Structure 1
Amino acid sequence: MTMQKHITCAAAVLCIVASTAAQSAERIALDGGGWLSLDKHALLLTDAAGKELARLPMRAKQLDVRSASGSGLAVVLDADTQHALPIRVDIKRGELTRLAPLPQQPFGVEGLCLFRDQQGLDFLFVAAKDGQAEQWLMHGAAPQLVRKLSMPLDAGQCTVDDARHTLYANEEGIGTWAYEANSEAAPARRLLKAGARLPAGPAASPAVVVEPRAQTMPVARLGDVADDPAIWVHPQDATRSRVLGTNKKQGLMVYDLQGKQQQFLDVGRLNNVDLRQGVNMDGKAVDLAVASQRDDNSVVLFGFDADGKVAELTRFATGFPEVYGICLFQPRSGGLDVIVNDKGGAFRQFRIARNGGAWSSKLAREFKVDSQPEGCVADDRNERLFIGEEKRGVWTLAARADQPVARKMVLAVGRDLHADVEGMAIYEGARGAYLIVSSQGDSSYVVLDAAVPYKVRGRFKVGFNLAEGIDGTSDTDGLDVTSKNLGGPYAQGMLVIQDGYKRMPDGPQNFKYVSWEDVARALKL
């Protein structure tokens, strides 16, 4: 893939990419042997010895291809119509086959390039002279629009480094811009300075890819709205369980296991949510949820009826000027504690009680970390608390309020965990407990033992489920997990993950449902 004329090489690695692309723009070697060539009259497929296998007459330019074992996807730009033309390449059969074209863009295509992601899916970027651009998924019966994005004016052509999942485009007189090519990523770019090299950073363990099984209906508003989920398990029929999700602008959503919204509680700007079931309060077992409310800096307490219908019970003041994250702890001795934090790093632990139908809260403990926290989760069985300091990592300390607040670093930001450290949840399996942490910086999820020595078991990402038309997850804030048998694909439990960027097509945020069995199989747990 050639870059625009007068390209400014902003990084040594990019100069290599651009130079190599320029030399092979009319003739590209196929992985596994053979060549694909484009001249003024046709696209040619030849074997390794140069013997012609197939020819497609066309007037086109800007050839790009992704192949494996001699077959794959090619794309060219029709010189007459300015349409992107996808072509299936099969060197074993000696065939070049035109595929379904992209629908007509509302702009003239000036540049295009292909990208193959970690999941093995092929995407096509198309760009216009005025900076308009789109990313298309090139699988199935027809291409699907994944997202719209902006590129430099007059960028013309582009190229993608699959290994670094980075899209490069040149802006004449300015330099070369680098974009995250993964469609789930934030629409950000960085200018590569002349002579600079891309930062290598610590080599992380590879992340496997799992597919979501379902997704919730999108939230009602655009922007950064959805944040944190919690899973309520129906005591008689687990298939009728519910997923709670916070709406940072409005309140609390309640979904069923198919992702259909069943309730919306307009209770103000909720950030994090957590719940416990079968809590003994004033001699009665009840199911309770709590959420951090950012309008009045309070803790909102919710109750459930027998069918999972949610209602607000009361609110407690936190005393914080800017309440943020929240989680629950159910001690073995009984009762219920709420752990809440603020953006300054302070934590407060309250004991919740009920007497004669009246709810109360009592401050039981305070402690602090050095910078902004948010996510936290308690391991009730072992009475351990895990807290996330967004830029530093995951800490653990005793969960009981009558214990010292000395903490230990469990997993630092670095090789496997990329800031911000966000949502956390604990999977209580028969063979032990696992801590799942949202590594927001690279849109992955780290799984580690929830007990000493806190061994990292692996990392995973959530990719596309093409059969169900569901996109993956990225930029995740909150997540939750249960080991309860919810039926169907969730017989070993379910993981619910907030998706920061809804794709295919672009839209309001939502939550994705992931089978724990899929995660366990992928990570060999």
Structure 2
Amino acid sequence: MMINRFTLTLAAALVSSAALLGGCTPAESQTQEDQGSGTTANASALPTEQPRLTLTGWEPESAGNAESWTLIPEHADNGDLDRAAANNKGLWLMNDQGKVQAHLPGRFATLDVRSHAGGLTLASVNSRTARPMLIRFNSQDQSFGQPLYLPATQYKVENLCLYRDEQENLFLFLLGEEGIGEQWLIASDQRLLDSALPVRRLSMPPQSEFCAVDDQQHLLFVNEETVGVWAYGAHPEAELSRAAIDMVAPFGSIAASAAGVTAVPGGLLVLDAEAALMHRYQQTGNDWSALPPISLSELEEPERVTSRPTENGIDLLLVNDGKTALFAGELQWRPEPAELAAPLPVLLPRIHTDAIPSAGDAADDPAIWVHPSQPERSRVLGTDKRAGLAVYDLQGKELQFLAVGRLNNVDVRRNFTFNGGLVDLAVASNRDRNSLHLFAIDQSSGELTDIGQIPTPLSEIYGLCLSQSPEGLIYAIANSKSGRFLQYQLSAEVQQVRGELVREFATQTQPEGCVADDQRQKLFIGEEDEAVWVLDAGADAPATLQKVVGIGGLVKDDIEGLAFYQHPEHPYLVISSQGNDSFVVLDGEAPYTVRGAFRVGLNAEGGIDGVSETDGLEINSSNLGSAWGKGMLVLQDGRKRMPEGNQNYKYVAWQDVAKALGLD
């Protein structure tokens, strides 16, 4: 209930010349890969309207001493629920008059809330056990469910923040002392998981106590008290990097220190407790604009703030270190929401492989070998570009690892004559020796054997693919970072492998991915920052490059792996659009119409993380049984999460791609 009746009506005051600081690019649907550096501009060029802020001292009937408060997001199922608090006597849900609607006894510190159909999810820390806790509140019967506890941390949790991604997965960020941070998956499909899953570790600033998340832009905001405010990618596949929103003077416009932060659509509010100011930031394209701050001079030390958008502005609830602990009101300011890219379909990986042996950026390119009579015994090959070649079954279990050196790209073809018999052939680009490295695949068991190398004159061999002529001749097409391509006809004399150079061509800049359509005798090559090109695959054909698709639209550089879905009537070309962690599908015949794009996200039920930073990929259209009835897509994953570890490969059912994009 309202007890303290005095009202503060405050106008925004321009305290210092604000700067447009290096900012954080808004994430597209589920990625932070388009982040760029910001520019600097004077705030005098920005709007200087004075938004009205009306604050009223507010005192609830309980939990008035709580430091952790949050405004409950508007939702039809929330009824009169308006605010929530955590203190040493429990979790509290109240209406806007301060009347308690529900109470969970206990000792709790810090709090965040998300709405969902039927109620709320609350996140806090049990002060008795030091364990982060999640709990659901059912709005219909006003009851709390069973709590989900995370393991006790080895550090004090200073704060926590919830984040919901585009798949409706719910995550919890933990902000610990001395720069420790973590991200956990805690809910999916509107329900808490039986056990929370660790997603990744985070390096946070050492003086951080407050955080906030913008779900739409997939951004996590964190204060660093004496330094400034930072934005991090919140998505589980985001790169671990940060961008400055603003700095403490003299390097930025924050007068004294950065305290509580709260995200609003298209903007950010940051408290400067020592100077009694509330700084405002408007997202402008790829950067953040510092707007004139709001004076809070009649509050002794405003430390925490929570917000909620309204029709005309922003509801605020501030925690003040002073005689009056809480202030509520509305700021009549609505920043222009940042423009969001159209969302892409998100598919789920069905399987992930065992990790490759090498740490860091090591996995690169896969290939698929199909067993001639027992498709369920087919194999996936994956390069470890620091150590060798891994061989997996269709369940992702490693069956072989050939520690033969730095292999970058790999491809396979059937029926190669070697040592008086037929084997299937895998060829990889070996960066230790700038060679073509050949492996025989036993057509019965699928076991690989190293059968030798063919030297090339390339100074820095890089990408590679195979093609096969109608007569059954197998060609290896290798490239270097300089853009040079060499096409070799492969053969063997008894046990000695040979390569005859039959054609040479080049691109202007660095290539890598290539793939052949043997049925139509076409070769597709990717020039990373320019385009995908097509030419005749034949050894005697002119090497005339024709443009298939360039950078722009759905295709974001770098263009990395290429794969071809072989179908007699409806073939498709798939491109790894690494710049926005997506995969673009085109018709496999001229005029190469773009059919759409998709991303591969987190499979919570399967405990499989999503896919990002993909270098290589491969498709096979054969019926491999089960989910792979219409074929399999294999993707290299540049960031292994949930938990973090060495990179691996993800399997996606082609039927899921076809359904998502409406393909034949």
Q: In the alignment, what sits opposite 1:3?
A: none
Q: Give the match's secondary structure for 1:489.
A: helix
Instruction: Report the residue type matching 2:564 in the other structure.
Output: I
**Match 2:563 to one of 409, 422, 425:** 425
Which piece of structure 1 moves more, 73-82 or 340-349? 73-82
User: 1:348-388: per-residue Cα shift (whole Å, max 9, x none)?
Assistant: 11122335554321222222222221111111112221111
1:90, CA displacement in angstroms? Answer: 2.6
Which piece of structure 1 moves more, 508-517 or 235-244? 508-517
Instruction: Report the residue type matching 1:370 in the other structure.
Output: Q
CA–CA distance in structure 1, aligned partners of residues 646 and 196 of structure 2: 22
* Aligned CA distance change for structure 1 residues 425 and 59 (closer, same or farther; 3 Å): same
Matched, 1:28 2:72: yes
Alpha carbons 2:530, 2:551 under 8 Å: kept: yes
Instruction: Report the residue type matching 2:584 in the other structure.
Output: V
CA–CA distance in structure 2, aligned partners of residues 224 and 353 of structure 1: 33
Q: In the alignment, what sits opposite 2:194?
A: 141
1:412, CA displacement in angstroms? Answer: 2.4
Q: In the alignment, what sits opposite 1:214?
A: 351
Instruction: Report the residue type matching 1:26 in the other structure.
Output: T
**Match 1:467 to one of 591, 605, 613:** 605
1:465, CA displacement in angstroms? Answer: 2.4
1:245, CA displacement in angstroms? Answer: 0.9
Alpha carbons 2:70, 2:112 under 8 Å: kept: no
Higher radius of gyration, 1 or 2: 2
CA–CA distance in structure 2, aligned partners of residues 296 and 192 of structure 1: 47
Alpha carbons 1:217, 1:260 under 8 Å: kept: yes
Q: In the alignment, what sits opposite 2:175?
A: 127
Which piece of structure 1 moves more, 57-66 or 223-232? 57-66
User: 1:491-520: per-residue Cα shift (whole Å, max 9, x none)?
Assistant: 111111112222222111111121112222
Q: Give the match's secondary structure for 2:194.
A: coil
Instruction: Report the residue type matching 1:301 in the other structure.
Output: L
1:408, CA displacement in angstroms? Answer: 2.9
1:266, CA displacement in angstroms? Answer: 1.8
1:481, CA displacement in angstroms? Answer: 1.0
1:213-252, aligned counterparts within 5 Å? Answer: 213-252=350-389
Q: In the alignment, what sits opposite 1:518?
A: 656
Q: Give the match's secondary structure for 1:520.
A: helix
CA–CA distance in structure 1, aligned partners of residues 659 and 646 of structure 2: 31
Alpha carbons 2:636, 2:649 under 8 Å: kept: yes
1:415, CA displacement in angstroms? Answer: 2.6
1:141, CA displacement in angstroms? Answer: 0.9
* Aligned CA distance change for structure 1 residues 335 and 205 (closer, same or farther; 3 Å): farther
User: 1:106-145: per-residue Cα shift (whole Å, max 9, x none)?
Assistant: 1100121111112211000001121110001103112121
CA–CA distance in structure 2, aligned partners of residues 508 and 425 of structure 1: 24
1:28-47, aligned counterparts within 5 Å? Answer: 28-34=72-78, 35-39=81-85, 42-45=90-93
Matched, 1:386 2:524: yes
Q: Give the match's secondary structure for 2:149.
A: coil
Q: In the alignment, what sits opposite 1:85?
A: 133
CA–CA distance in structure 1, aligned partners of residues 506 and 646 of structure 2: 35
Matched, 1:507 2:560: no
Q: In the alignment, what sits opposite 1:159?
A: 212
Which piece of structure 1 moves more, 441-450 or 194-203? 194-203
Instruction: Report the residue type matching 2:84 in the other structure.
Output: L
1:440-455, aligned counterparts within 5 Å? Answer: 440-455=578-593
* Aligned CA distance change for structure 1 residues 312 and 287 (closer, same or farther; 3 Å): same
CA–CA distance in structure 2, aligned partners of residues 176 and 65 of structure 1: 22
Which piece of structure 1 moves more, 65-74 or 264-273? 65-74
User: 1:287-311: per-residue Cα shift (whole Å, max 9, x none)?
Assistant: 1111000001000111111211111
Alpha carbons 2:451, 2:495 under 8 Å: kept: no
Q: Give the match's secondary structure for 1:130.
A: helix
% identical aligned pairs: 44
1:227, CA displacement in angstroms? Answer: 1.2
Q: In the alignment, what sits opposite 1:73?
A: 121
Matched, 1:106 2:154: yes
Alpha carbons 1:300, 1:314 under 8 Å: kept: yes
Gaps of 5+ in 1: 1-6
CA–CA distance in structure 2, aligned partners of residues 123 and 9 of structure 1: 31
Q: Give the match's secondary structure for 2:72.
A: strand
* Aligned CA distance change for structure 1 residues 163 and 258 (closer, same or farther; 3 Å): same
1:175, CA displacement in angstroms? Answer: 2.9
Alpha carbons 1:115, 1:123 under 8 Å: kept: yes
Instruction: Report the residue type matching 2:473 in the other structure.
Output: G
Alpha carbons 1:30, 1:70 under 8 Å: kept: no
CA–CA distance in structure 2, aligned partners of residues 280 and 221 of structure 1: 33
1:442, CA displacement in angstroms? Answer: 2.3
**Match 1:359 to one of 487, 493, 497:** 497
CA–CA distance in structure 1, aligned partners of residues 585 and 401 of structure 2: 32
Instruction: Report the residue type matching 2:358 in the other structure.
Output: R
CA–CA distance in structure 1, aligned partners of residues 20 and 228 of structure 2: 7
Matched, 1:344 2:482: yes
User: 1:192-233: per-residue Cα shift (whole Å, max 9, x none)?
Assistant: 466773529997553212222222111123212211111100
User: 1:383-436: per-residue Cα shift (whole Å, max 9, x none)?
Assistant: 221111222232222222322333233232333122222111111135411111
* Aligned CA distance change for structure 1 residues 47 and 383 (closer, same or farther; 3 Å): farther
Which piece of structure 1 moves more, 391-400 or 34-43? 34-43
CA–CA distance in structure 2, aligned partners of residues 377 and 489 of structure 1: 24
CA–CA distance in structure 2, aligned partners of residues 372 and 108 of structure 1: 48
CA–CA distance in structure 2, aligned partners of residues 422 and 181 of structure 1: 25
* Aligned CA distance change for structure 1 residues 12 and 320 (closer, same or farther; 3 Å): closer
Q: Give the match's secondary structure for 1:522.
A: helix
Alpha carbons 1:165, 1:182 under 8 Å: kept: yes
Matched, 1:398 2:451: no
Instruction: Report the residue type matching 2:74 in the other structure.
Output: L
Instruction: Report the residue type matching 1:424 in the other structure.
Output: L
User: 1:38-71: per-residue Cα shift (whole Å, max 9, x none)?
Assistant: 2455544467999864322455454322223353
Q: How high is the TM-score relative to the length of structure 1? A: 0.89
CA–CA distance in structure 2, aligned partners of residues 36 and 62 of structure 1: 17
**Match 2:553 to one of 388, 393, 415:** 415
The size of the alignment, in residue pairs, is 516
Instruction: Report the residue type matching 1:396 in the other structure.
Output: V
Q: In the alignment, what sits opposite 1:4?
A: none
Gaps of 5+ in 2: 1-17, 27-51, 57-67, 188-192, 247-251, 253-280, 288-337
Q: Give the match's secondary structure for 2:148.
A: coil
* Aligned CA distance change for structure 1 residues 146 and 459 (closer, same or farther; 3 Å): same
Which piece of structure 1 moves more, 495-504 or 171-180? 171-180
* Aligned CA distance change for structure 1 residues 412 and 74 (closer, same or farther; 3 Å): farther
* Aligned CA distance change for structure 1 residues 203 and 161 (closer, same or farther; 3 Å): closer
1:33, CA displacement in angstroms? Answer: 4.8
